[in-house]
Structure formats: C-alpha cells, structure tokens
Amino acid sequence: MLYKVYTTPEFDRLFEKLSKDDQIEINKLTTKELPNNPYQGRALGFKFFREKRIRGKRVYFLIYEDFILVLMVAIGDKKTQKKDISKIRINREIYLKLAEDISKNF
C-alpha cells in the first residue's frame, strides 16, 4: 500500500532555502522512498515520529497509519536538532488534526 506524502507550510518554507542538490535528494525521499516504505530513518521516541539524514540535513516526518499518509514537518541540522524535535513533539496534536483534515479531502 502506497502512502501519500504531504508537507506543512513550515517544511515548504525550509525546503525553499535549501540548495538545489538538497532539494533533489529530499524530493527523491518524498516521491519515491517514503510512499513505499515510510518507516525509514531513525525513530524519535515514537514509531511514527522519524528523522532521516540527507546530505547533512535532518528531515523530520510523522507517519499516520490510520490515514495512510506521511506528513513532512521540518528540516534542520545537528545544531537545531533538539529544538526541532521539541517543537514537533509540542505540536503533535496540531499535526494530527492537519493529517485528519488532509485525509478527509483525498
């Protein structure tokens, strides 16, 4: 079963600031790799909250099995890792609501 991959506005904003090479690698992850196997990278305290390292960047995403979707939420580096993870955990309910809304519309 293929997962749908969606991005948050925050993720899109961070993505636009990346180099073209980084963007190509992340596009490959979101279009080819995650739809087939969303459980890539390292779990961050929960099975559904993961981090995948790409060219020195850390891409954070949440997996929602009930909705068969992956929500790309942030991009950071080693320096911002702790802050990024904390922010995502704090906003977990907001991301769940967003995933529910997305699932209703597709």
Contacts of 16 (CB under 8 A, 6+ apart): none
Residue by residue, pLDDT tens for the chain (106 residues) are: 899 999 999 999 999 999 999 999 999 999 999 999 999 999 999 999 999 999 999 999 999 999 999 999 999 999 999 999 999 999 999 999 999 999 988 7
pTM to 2 decimals? 0.95
Alpha carbons 94 and 100: distance in angstroms, whole number: 10
**Sequence spans of domains, the chain:** 4-104
Note the pLDDT of residue 27: 97
**Per-residue pLDDT at 55:** 92
- Residue 18: CB atoms within 10 A of its CB come to 16
Query: Taking a C-beta distance cutoff of 8 angstroms, is the pair 78, 88 a contact?
Result: no
| Architecture of the domain spanning 4-104 | 2-Layer Sandwich (3.30)
Q: Is 91 helix (H, G, I), strand (E, B) or coil?
A: coil
The predicted structure's pLDDT at residue 1? 85
